[in-house]
Structure 1
Amino acid sequence: MKAVAHNKMYFATTRTAVRVFALLVALLICVSLGSRAYAASEKYTFVLVHGATAGGWEWKSTGKFLSDDGHTVYRATLTGLGEREHLNSPDIDLQTHIDDVVNLILYEDLHDIVLTGHSYGGMVITGVMDRIPERIRHVVFLDAAVPDDGMSLWDLFGGRQQDPTRFVDGFMQVPWVKPGTPPPHSVKHSIKCFNQPVSYKNPAALALPVTYVAFIPKDQSAEQRAKTDKSWQRAVARGWTIRTFPGRHVAQQEDPRGVATLIEQSVNDRNQPSGKAVK
């Protein structure tokens, strides 16, 4: 009888332990799912910086998708470009444009931002990172220039192109800049923006988490791009996350929803141990 009673007590205790364990597992699952749901619904502040000759207008559709997802979005327009064309001058340089974005962040009192730059905008956000890293949560280079400290855009691409038709009266002239076209449209761009070096040596800036995104057109493979793209190679050497997106250099105009989603997904990317620097 004692053995039977003992067995009954043993099994009752075991069933209780199992129930408690199952309850704990269920509780952990609920907490986990809840935290994931919170992470998925977390909202960010994005500062979008356009490329050469363009303006904030070029990121209107992408910005709207980000806003529709509940985020706060600032589309910077650099001095002399876009709706600020009336301020255009050959005296505008890279530092002017860095100041544009730094002051936007400071005067709007933005913190914990996700800073993105497209094309030439990579030069601009590099300078912004160096100046105010404490305001930045994450950085995304969207098919953008990735310079080293003391490097200009012309250094990045192997020097000034010797085509006199492209450099007139202190401005770069390109085929897609067509005077007289109804706005929004691209405009001429001061040469000083391309030959002025950028500073990138602040230790706090170097430690920021960064994602490099290569826009890959149909006639190119990611493997081909990786072999020739010095910006990609610098990003790898710095331990940045590398992502690719199908599209041409202006993929944000071809697929704004896709680019908006890509930017959102990049926010939690983290740097990996860096390798050998690319010269």
Structure 2
Amino acid sequence: MRKLIISLWCAFSTLFPLSMHSEEMAQTSKPETFVIVHGSTGGGWDWKTVANILEDRGHTAYRPTLSGLGERMHLAAKDIDLETHITDIVNTIVFEELDNVILAGHSYGGAVITGVMDRIPERIKHVIFLDAMVLDDGMSMLDLNYDWMQGLEIKNHQIHFNWLEPEAEYPKDVPHPVKTYTSPVSYKNPAAKELNVSYVAFIPEGMTKEERAKDSSWSRAKARGWTIRTIPGHHTIYREKPNEFVDMLIASISDRNTQVEDIQ
């Protein structure tokens, strides 16, 4: 009987080797919970593909849409500010009873996740700034004073950025609540500053790493001892190369605040 069992096991191992799908097994062996925060004018719709890939690999992914944007654009109101958007994400985490969250924010989402870190650091395992704004305590988005922030078109308490395409079909980017850019963020909780954070800079074609590193958000990330990663591509590279992007997200989870730069 024992010889029969061994023979059957050997036959099974030959047909289905343990090395089969070893990469997929490694990726799904430790399921993580991701909460992804979109950028200005966007919505959770923009991260559907990335979320689906994460879930296909055994993880859980939330991609909430911030108040007044995406499918919630009908709720746009003059009183929506940065604190509103921070509360959107805090409440998602609290009401879904999430812990050990991998919190990721893209672009303007960096301002939002900064406030989330400050509010509920005990719920967060790791933070990833995706080509995102890094603000000090008391700063607002407009305090970054980027060139593209000059002469913003504001109508009905909304910013109408020049990349909007009003005639495009849904889903699409929509006007953004202006008070989210003028209200300051809180980043003073000592526990928030102990979290391990990855800052991922997207480097578009034609730009060098040295040029990209001049950005003030990069400088603040470096000063805080966060891990600096780079990925080649423009500001929405996650749309064109979602699988590679997810590889980077998963790899970032092991980052520790060690002042190591340019991990790819």
- Sort the TM-score into its range (normalised by shorter chain): 0.7 to 0.9
TM-score with structure 1 setting the length: 0.81
Q: What SS class does the counterpart of residue 116 from structure 1 fall into?
A: strand
Give the aligned partner of residue 49 of structure 1.
Answer: 37
Residue 78 in 1 paired to residue 78 in 2? no
Deviation at 1:43, TM superposition (A): 1.0
Q: What SS class does the counterpart of residue 126 from structure 1 fall into?
A: helix
Identity %: 53
CA distance change for structure 1 residues 162 and 122 in 2, over 3 Å: closer, same or farther? closer
Give the aligned partner of residue 242 of structure 1.
Answer: 228
Residue 188 in 1 paired to residue 207 in 2? no
Contact 1:50–1:119, Cα closer than 8 Å, also in 2: yes
Which of structure 1's runs of 4+ aligned residues deviate more than 6 A? 37-40
- Highest CA radius of gyration, 1 or 2? 1
Within-5 A mapping of 1:217-236: 217-226=204-213, 228-236=214-222
* Structure 2 residue ranges without an equivalent (≥5): 1-24
Give the aligned partner of residue 208 of structure 1.
Answer: 195
Show CA shifts across 1:158-198 (max 9, x none).
5994526x122221111222224221000001110001000
Give the aligned partner of residue 20 of structure 1.
Answer: none
Residue 175 in 1 paired to residue 154 in 2? no
Give the Cα separation in 2 of the matches to 1:146 and 1:140.
Answer: 11
More helix by share: 1
Q: What SS class does the counterpart of residue 124 from structure 1 fall into?
A: helix
Show CA shifts across 1:243-279 (max 9, x none).
00111011111211111110000001000269xxxxx
Residue 144 in 1 paired to residue 132 in 2? yes
Show CA shifts across 1:38-74 (max 9, x none).
7872110000000000000111111111111100000
Show CA shifts across 1:219-248 (max 9, x none).
11111111x211111111100000001110
Match of 1:254 among 207, 221, 240: 240
Deviation at 1:205, TM superposition (A): 0.1
Q: What SS class does the counterpart of residue 76 from structure 1 fall into?
A: coil
Deviation at 1:199, TM superposition (A): 0.2
Give the Cα separation in 2 of the matches to 1:129 and 1:81.
Answer: 22
Contact 2:227–2:259, Cα closer than 8 Å, also in 1: no
Give the aligned partner of residue 113 of structure 1.
Answer: 101
Q: What SS class does the counterpart of residue 176 from structure 1 fall into?
A: coil
Give the Cα separation in 2 of the matches to 1:50 and 1:161.
Answer: 19
Give the Cα separation in 2 of the matches to 1:244 and 1:169.
Answer: 37
Give the Cα separation in 1 of the matches to 2:45 and 2:158.
Answer: 21
Give the aligned partner of residue 84 of structure 2.
Answer: 96
Q: Which deviates further from its counterpart, 251-260 or 201-210?
A: 251-260
Give the Cα separation in 2 of the matches to 1:263 and 1:120.
Answer: 18
Give the Cα separation in 2 of the matches to 1:40 and 1:242.
Answer: 25
Give the aligned partner of residue 119 of structure 2.
Answer: 131
CA distance change for structure 1 residues 62 and 38 in 2, over 3 Å: closer, same or farther? closer
TM-score with structure 2 setting the length: 0.85
Show CA shifts across 1:120-156 (max 9, x none).
0000000000000000000000000000000001102
Give the Cα separation in 2 of the matches to 1:139 and 1:159.
Answer: 27
* Structure 1 residue ranges without an equivalent (≥5): 1-36, 275-279
RMSD: 1.8
CA distance change for structure 1 residues 221 and 163 in 2, over 3 Å: closer, same or farther? same
Give the Cα separation in 2 of the matches to 1:112 and 1:273.
Answer: 23
Give the Cα separation in 2 of the matches to 1:261 and 1:160.
Answer: 30
Contact 2:32–2:59, Cα closer than 8 Å, also in 1: yes
Deviation at 1:115, TM superposition (A): 0.1
